Amino acid sequence: MTIIIATFVSVFGRAIQQLNVVGGHYLAAALTPFLIAAGDVSLVLLVVDRGWSSIPFSGLGGAIGAVSAMWLHGRVRKHLRAQEKT
């Protein structure tokens, strides 16, 4: 379970970071690498400990992280655009 969470954090952070950079969101792009680092360090430590058996769990965490980042970023941007109009 912890490998799923660590991979989720790493991939979620990378996906959000890509969307931040493309969108020109400087502050978010400056803060997101700390999330990525936490996920990466955790993931490396866990995979070294558990080995090849961690692949399906890591894949699942990555898939959930990527889709979640896309969904959340879209919702946040939509909410912020709506606030700018009022």
Mind listing the pLDDT tens digit for each residue in 13-60?
999 999 999 999 999 999 999 999 999 999 999 999 999 999 999 999
Within 8 A by CB and 6+ apart from 67, the residues are none
What are the helix (H) ranges across 1-86?
2-23, 26-50, 55-85
Do 8 and 62 meet the contact criterion of CB atoms below 8 Å apart?
yes
Which band of pLDDT confidence, cut at 50, 70 and 90, is reported for residue 81? Answer: confident
- Between the CA atoms of 60, 16, 29 and 38, what dihedral angle is there, to the nearest 10 degrees? -20
Domain boundaries, the chain: 2-85
Name the region of 24 (left: φ>0; alpha: ψ -120 to 50; beta: rest).
left
Instruction: Please report the pLDDT score of residue 45 as a whole number.
Output: 96
Position 31 scores a pLDDT of: 96
Q: Which pLDDT band holds residue 86 (cuts at 50, 70, 90)? A: confident
Distance CA 10, CA 86 (A): 35
